[in-house]
Structure 1
Amino acid sequence: MRSHHVSRVIRASPTAVYDFAADVGNLPLWAAGLARSKPVQDGADLTVESPMGRVRIRFVERNRFGVLDHDVVLPSGAITTNPMRVFPHPDGAEVIFTLRQLGTSDEEFARDIEMVEADLDRLEDLMRNLPRKGSAAEHQR
């Protein structure tokens, strides 16, 4: 089994990146590889429409360590555990998502990597365009 780490450095505070990414209502904004619809709370899980069909997601509890690990229950019932972290970087925050090649072909694994790269690119773009606390744009609201 191979693992692949996708990383993005985002010019925003680790707290801001973590808070945005941990807000499940924001998932469809940046995690199109996972959520194509607004998440619906279903007990301890979330249910969303994804490129793989309707899936259930279970995130670890919010924490001060920047951990965003989550399990995805696929329509087949298979569970994929996805390690994800936000931590301080000299230029702001670094987000690392680990993919594991579990029973997929090399081509499917490469597509999964591309989807996660695109998701983290969207997260970076969104964070770059959010008004910063104390900024002139925020005071104009």
Structure 2
Amino acid sequence: MSSEAISIVIEQPFDEVYRFLVDPLNFPSWGPAQSSDMRHLGAGDWLVDFQKGPMILRFTEPNLYGVLDYRIFRPGDAPGHLVSVRLLPVGEACELTMIWRQRLGVGDQQFAAECIGIRGYFARLKTLLEADAGD
């Protein structure tokens, strides 16, 4: 199985980007969720409508270290694999990095397509946050 580090630099201060990313309700504005209809289930769990159906996203609690890890799984299933996400300050900007791991049963072509999709979500996030800075 493979893994790929996917990163993007966002020309905004770490604190502002972290505040945006740590709020699960902002996820549909840049991530793969199909709608903004997210239902809080308690603690860090949110029910989200994805293309393949409803899934639970379990977000890491807010912290001082830029850790934005999450797990994704179907309702009734055990929590899925951990997706490692970090936001790091880089001068007056910051860098968002995700380690995307190829899961059991996922072929190389699908894994490559997933990585391309994540780069697209990151580009959307960068555009959104950097455009807000100009307002």
TM-score normalised according to structure 1 size: 0.86
- Matched with 1:36 is 34
Partner of 1:68, secondary structure, is coil
- Once the two structures are TM-superposed, the CA of residue 75 in structure 1 deviates from its matched residue by 6.1
- Once the two structures are TM-superposed, the CA of residue 131 in structure 1 deviates from its matched residue by 3.4
Provide the alpha-carbon RMSD of the alignment: 1.7
The 3 A distance-change label for structure 1 pair 37 and 70 is same
2:125 to 104, 123, 126: 123
Q: What percentage of aligned pairs have identical amino acids?
A: 31
- Matched with 1:70 is 70
1:34-59 CA deviation, whole Å, 9 max, x = no partner? x2222210123100011232100111
1: distance between equivalents of 2:115 and 2:69?
17
1: distance between equivalents of 2:34 and 2:47?
11
2: distance between equivalents of 1:105 and 1:91?
39
Aligned residues: 131
The 3 A distance-change label for structure 1 pair 53 and 75 is farther
2: distance between equivalents of 1:60 and 1:75?
18
The 3 A distance-change label for structure 1 pair 74 and 106 is farther
Matched, 1:97 2:61: no
Answer yes or no: is the 8 Å Cα contact 1:85–1:96 preserved in 2.
yes
- Once the two structures are TM-superposed, the CA of residue 66 in structure 1 deviates from its matched residue by 0.6
Q: Who wins on radius of gyration, i.e. which is larger? A: 1
TM-score normalised according to structure 2 size: 0.89
2: distance between equivalents of 1:108 and 1:76?
25
1: distance between equivalents of 2:114 and 2:64?
28
1: distance between equivalents of 2:127 and 2:50?
21
Counterpart of 1:41 in structure 2: which amino acid? H
Which runs of no fewer than 5 residues in structure 2 stay unpaired? none
1:72-123 CA deviation, whole Å, 9 max, x = no partner? 0136836131110111113510000110001200011011101110110011
